[in-house]
Amino acid sequence: MAYGYQPGIEDSGKVIEKCITTDALILSSFMLSRHWDSFAGISSPAPVVRLNWSSSFYYPLNYREGHTTITTTVEEAVKSGAEAVICSLFLENKSEEVDKENIKIFSEAVRQKEKLGIPLIGECYVVEHKEKKIEEVHEKIKRISRIMAELGADLIKAFYSGSRFYEVVQNVPVPVFTIGAEKLNSDLDILKKAHDSTMHGAKGIIFGRNIFMAKNPEKLIKALNDVVNNNIIPEEAVKIYGLKD
């Protein structure tokens, strides 16, 4: 809910149950503490805790300046049961002061995760992506992803920038995963985005609302697993699992 109202997550326990067959789930430290039993099984997803809050993520007010703060330390995340943490880096905010502060925050997250030996996912989200040409979005992703890797991120979560996405992957020394971003129109569109991402070098996907807002998250997760890991084409996966095309 830190992003604004997200239909489909009103009952947090229920939505976790629907998404329990994923490899990992991103949630806040306190939501993990409240639902620790959902992550206690041998085959349960790895809990990933978000460390930061950014004004640019709060969609209802359409903020654009990228002010960021740490809401959870790595130690607090680990105490709640996190197996990995995630922190965004907002850069190129047209403010040297904001950019400097965001680098400081991200670097502190790196220092904390290094002390405890827990992986950090660096998140590159281009707030103004709808206002930029795809080439501009691509170049920004390429720049910031590399900066996060140089600062110490162990994995990268980034916007999918199309057929040149392999350039982002080749430019960083750590695995890169793609963001689902806006809610897509159909299950087939979601599967196609996952397929295209991996075909252009992504190691996997980190999708949120495109899964938990789906009509049947359980079936969609199975289809995504087949597309990403088993080389099943999206159209075939839709037929196999009776999804919306």
Distance CA 49, CA 79 (A): 11
Catalytic residue among 113, 142, 157, 193: 157
Whether 142 is catalytic is: no
Residue pair 31/51 in contact by the 8 Å Cβ criterion: no
Name the residue with tokens 């939501």: 31
- According to the model, what pLDDT value does residue 60 have? 67
- According to the model, what pLDDT value does residue 65 have? 75
Residue pair 7/213 in contact by the 8 Å Cβ criterion: yes
**What is the model's pTM?**
0.93
Assigned token pair, 89: 């880096």
C-beta atoms surrounding 66 within 10 Å: 24
- Domains, the chain, with CATH or none: 12-179 (3.20.20.70), 182-201+209-245 (no CATH)
Give, for all 245 residues of the chain, the pLDDT tens digit.
777 777 888 899 999 999 999 999 999 999 999 999 999 988 999 999 999 988 777 766 777 777 889 999 999 999 999 999 999 999 998 889 999 999 999 999 999 999 999 999 999 988 776 778 989 999 999 999 999 999 999 999 999 999 999 999 999 999 999 998 888 999 999 999 999 999 999 999 999 999 998 999 999 999 999 999 999 999 999 999 999 88
In terms of C-beta density within 10 A (0-12 exposed, 13-18 middle, 19 or more buried), how is residue 239 classed? exposed
